[in-house]
Amino acid sequence: MSLESSFESSLAAFKALHLPRAGRPAPPPEAVAAPGLSRGALAGVLRFAGLLALLAVVAFFAVRVPSFVTTGNIGLILSQSAVLGILGLGLTLVLITGGSDVIRGGIDLSLAGTLGLAAAVFATLNQAGYGDTACVAATLATGLAVGALNALSVTWLRILPLLATLAVMNICGGLELVLTENTTVPAGLPLIDALNLVGPFDLPVIGLVLVAAWLILAVTVRFTAVGLRAYAVGGHPEAARAAGIDLTRYLASSYLVAGLLGGVAGILSVAFLNAATSGSAEMLLPVIATAFLGRMFSRRLVPTVTGTLLAAVFLGALANGFQLLHVSSYWVNGIEGALILAVVGATSGLAGRGARP
Amino acid sequence: MSLETLDSPRAAAPDLLRFGVPLALALVLVAFSLMAPGFLTLSNIVGVLVNNVALAAIVSIAMTLTVASGGTDLSVGTAVDLGSLAFVSAIIAGQPVWIAAVLGVLAGIGTGLFNALLIAGLSITPFLATLGTLFIGHSLQQLTTDGGNPVYVPTGSIPPALAFIGHGAVFGVPLALWLVAILAAAAWLLLARSRFGREVLAVGTEPQVALYSGLPVRSVLAFIYIASAAIASIAGILISANVNAYVPYSGNAYLLNSIGAAFIGTSLSRTRRANIPGTLLGVLLLGFVSNGLLLIGWNFYWQQVGSGLLIFLALLLAFTGRRDAA
């Protein structure tokens, strides 16, 4: 322990001496005023660029296909993005609280597995004759249980989040197969019919659930002390600990809420498809892409709840627009990949050359 | 310049815990040989090594290099697939098998070059750079195969050399296992016994310190990602030779297990760094667990649950007592 801390402190001293800009903890304001200003301006342009890209895509499709901006189609985009968006929001919470270092920081690879397992639980119970309340309760409990397993592994057992959630993903995938025997399990409940209705503002209820989840989380993260502390735990764990924040509780909660959102996504996906289907594992990489792409919409290029929602809608609009334009769906993945690279390329250019994690 | 500080135990694990994974593997072997009579036979073990372990081991060796350098390569599967695609296309076009194999590895190197450009050139985080490559590779495969249709080598014109790569043996040992041994030895020499390996580990442990110590961080990273993709494409060539076809996206199946194996393997090192022997133990553990569960009669679905739980337990063994996590 003492060896470790002396190593860390000598490292900090080394960094303070030798790192010109990126690694310094608190540079005097006047010393960095000029580059700080230009970098801030660049960041402003970049945030603008994220929204601009979204608007440009919408405008392009609107001009080419007039039906793109009808209420019906916007509702369709929202419901197509709902499952991805909800899972992306869950991952965003984990990224905020766990920190953005991919290896040592927060990550939840089990979200797509949670989605599949939750959907399987919902549809199987439905087939067994249970009603709305029992199905929803069991599904949400499943999501929470997966989240609890993740939280336990990461905080108490101290397994790397990347690995712990990878193992949990495998367990979820296996349990899903046990329940569904790799078949499509149809489902039909009053709740599912209700979710498929068109609600207020002429928008489908599934899409409204996504909007509601975003509102709740955005308000919590942006306007409460809980949100500020979560960012502190992720960004500056030592400072957060010194300020008396219980890191373990925040980390554990982020995985629990993510698991719960996985359960919600499971219900939505059953409603959207009228069944629990195999292949939820394919959602994993799009979920990660959504959460990381969401940083494009934040001023400091950090994960934010609203950014993730915009990213999910952005990807949904792209896929939908290409479909309307009869562009082959084969291109969609490639364009998503190029977008991710463009965004993170701009981000790392902004963060400075020496700041590679 | 001294790299001595690299040996200071950041996460000084009690030495006993380093043997968590070998212990888990031994327990698995003993338990299954007691429960399933056919488990500990030579033919079953060779079967597991050839069918469950060899390809996963090659991809995991590639993954180990990138994990040692402080990153991950999510596009190993893409390199596997593009290697396979180039290899099969060249054979169908009538090229000799060795030229096809060279083209396959070149396709892998191309993938790696793209990653290197993003990571070393544009300073993009490896995780996200290779995620982008993975997505682009997916599109590329959809476009070239009209949405993911397998490409078969016509049954009448399978060259004997192709059959040899797929099913041949040298001195009674299957070719795939020779390749694993050669690649593992080369990667081990590179990582654990060369000056370059020390530089890779320095970049992986403290990139900023490495940079300001004057290490050629960019060239190290570029080499690692190119080497990783090249090694992965060899697995792609082996897969194609096995089934006489290119099956789109088949390489992605190895992605998560290779990450698992490489990180399980880190528990073998006193300083928790990725290392080739540890990775190979991880691959063996994963391979024998799924084979053993099959032999004791679990159906495929429960096998998935069982291997997930066992990986979890192995991680538990490997990570107990760790105190460097925040």
Q: What is the ipTM of this complex?
A: 0.73
pLDDT for A41 equals 61
pLDDT for A48 equals 66
Distance from CA of B68 to the nearest CA of A (A): 12
Residue at token pair 């300073």: B123
- Contacts of A333 by beta carbon, 8 Å cutoff, 6+ apart: B135, B136, B138, B139, B142
Closest CA to A166 of B192, B72, B322, B149: B72
Whole-number Å distance between alpha carbons of B81 and B39: 32
pLDDT for B14 equals 55
- B245-246 and B151-152 as β-strands: parallel, antiparallel, unpaired? antiparallel
- Could you tell me the two tokens for B228? 């990783």
CB atoms within 10 A of CB B197: 18
Q: Is the pLDDT reported for residue A164 higher than 80?
A: yes
% of chain A surpassing 70 pLDDT: 81
| Fold assignment, A49-347 | ABC transporter involved in vitamin B12 uptake, BtuC (1.10.3470)
Q: Which residue has the higher pLDDT, A220 or A301?
A: A220
pLDDT for A342 equals 78
- B246 forms bridges with which residues in the sheet? B151
- Could you tell me the two tokens for A218? 């955005």
Yes or no, beta carbons of B131 and A1 under 8 Å apart? no
% of chain A surpassing 90 pLDDT: 16
Buried b vs exposed e over A310-334: b needs ≥16 C-beta within 10 Å?
Answer: bbbbbbbbbbbbbeeeeeeebebbb
Which candidate in B69, B124, B143 is best for mutational testing of the A interface (most A CBs within 10 A)?
B124
A26 — alpha (psi -120 to 50), left (phi > 0) or beta?
beta
Do A95 and A234 form a contact (C-beta atoms < 8 A)?
A: yes
pLDDT for A304 equals 87
Whole-number Å distance between alpha carbons of B141 and B143: 5
CB atoms within 10 A of CB B189: 13
CA distances from B16 to A243, B21, B24, B34, B320 (A): 36, 11, 13, 26, 11
Residue at token pair 């364009």: A335
Report how many helices (DSSP H) and strands (DSSP E) chain B contains, helices first. Answer: 14, 4
Q: Which residue has the higher pLDDT, B216 or A43?
A: B216
- A275-276 and B151-152 as β-strands: parallel, antiparallel, unpaired? unpaired
Confidence bin at A2 (pLDDT 50/70/90): very low
> Residue B321 has what DSSP assignment?
T
Yes or no, beta carbons of B259 and A166 under 8 Å apart? yes
Closest CA to A319 of A92, A91, A87, A73: A73
Q: What is the pLDDT of residues A141-154, one digit of tens each?
A: 999 999 999 999 88
Do A327 and A349 form a contact (C-beta atoms < 8 A)?
A: no
**Residue type (1 letter), B154:** P
**Domain spans, chain B:** 4-319
Which candidate in B8, B212, B220 is best for mutational testing of the A interface (most A CBs within 10 A)?
B212
Of B126, B134, B139, the CB nearest to A331: B139
Q: Is the pLDDT reported for residue A101 higher than 90?
A: no
Q: Which residues of B touch A282 (CB under 8 A)?
A: none
Q: According to DSSP H, which parts of chain B are helical?
A: 20-35, 42-48, 54-68, 76-92, 97-116, 126-144, 160-167, 175-193, 195-205, 207-212, 217-243, 255-266, 276-295, 300-319
Q: Is B308 on the interface with A (CB under 8 A)?
A: yes
Q: What is the pLDDT of residues A56-77, one digit of tens each?
A: 888 888 888 888 888 888 888 8
Yes or no, beta carbons of A7 and B306 under 8 Å apart? no
**Residue type (1 letter), A355:** A
Buried b vs exposed e over B107-129: b needs ≥16 C-beta within 10 Å?
Answer: bbbbbbbbbbebbbeebbbbbbb
CB atoms within 10 A of CB B26: 11
Whole-number Å distance between alpha carbons of B187 and B231: 10
Whole-number Å distance between alpha carbons of A133 and A214: 24
Most confident of A13-22, A118-127, B195-204: A118-127
Distance from CA of B167 to the nearest CA of A (A): 31
CB atoms within 10 A of CB A237: 19
Q: Is the pLDDT reported for residue A49 higher than 90?
A: no
| Fold assignment, B4-319 | ABC transporter involved in vitamin B12 uptake, BtuC (1.10.3470)
Q: Report residue B274 CA to chain centroid gap.
A: 12
Whole-number Å distance between alpha carbons of A315 and A317: 5
- Radius of gyration for the alpha carbons in chain B, expressed in angstroms and rounded: 20
Whole-number Å distance between alpha carbons of A342 and A354: 19
Q: What is the pLDDT of residues A190-223, one digit of tens each?
A: 777 777 777 778 788 888 889 899 999 988 888 8
Q: Is B311 on the interface with A (CB under 8 A)?
A: yes
- Contacts of B220 by beta carbon, 8 Å cutoff, 6+ apart: B69, B196, B199, B200, B203
Do A143 and A261 form a contact (C-beta atoms < 8 A)?
A: yes
Helix axes A284-293, A71-98, angle to 10 degrees: 80
- A186 forms bridges with which residues in the sheet? A275
pLDDT for B273 equals 83
Distance from CA of A112 to the nearest CA of B (A): 14
Sign of CA dihedral A319, A323, A325, A328: positive
Q: Which residues of B touch A169 (CB under 8 A)?
A: 256, 308
Of A23, A158, A164, the CB nearest to B208: A23
pLDDT for B80 equals 95
pLDDT tens, chain B, 326 aa long:
334 344 444 444 456 667 778 888 888 888 888 888 888 888 888 888 888 899 999 999 999 999 888 888 889 999 999 999 999 999 888 888 899 999 999 999 999 999 999 888 888 888 888 888 988 898 888 888 887 788 888 877 788 888 888 888 888 888 888 999 999 999 999 888 888 888 888 888 888 888 888 888 888 899 999 999 999 999 999 999 888 888 888 888 888 888 888 888 887 877 778 889 999 999 998 888 888 888 888 888 888 888 788 778 777 776 665 544 33
Of how many residues is chain A composed?
A: 357
Do B21 and B277 form a contact (C-beta atoms < 8 A)?
A: no
Q: Is the pLDDT reported for residue A50 higher than 90?
A: no
Question: Which residues 168-227 of chain B have a CB within 8 Å of chain A?
Answer: 206-209, 211-212
Confidence bin at A292 (pLDDT 50/70/90): confident
Q: Is the pLDDT reported for residue A271 higher than 60?
A: yes
Q: Which residues of A touch B123 (CB under 8 A)?
A: 348-349, 353, 356
Phi, psi of B212 (to 5 degrees): -85, -5
Confidence bin at A14 (pLDDT 50/70/90): very low
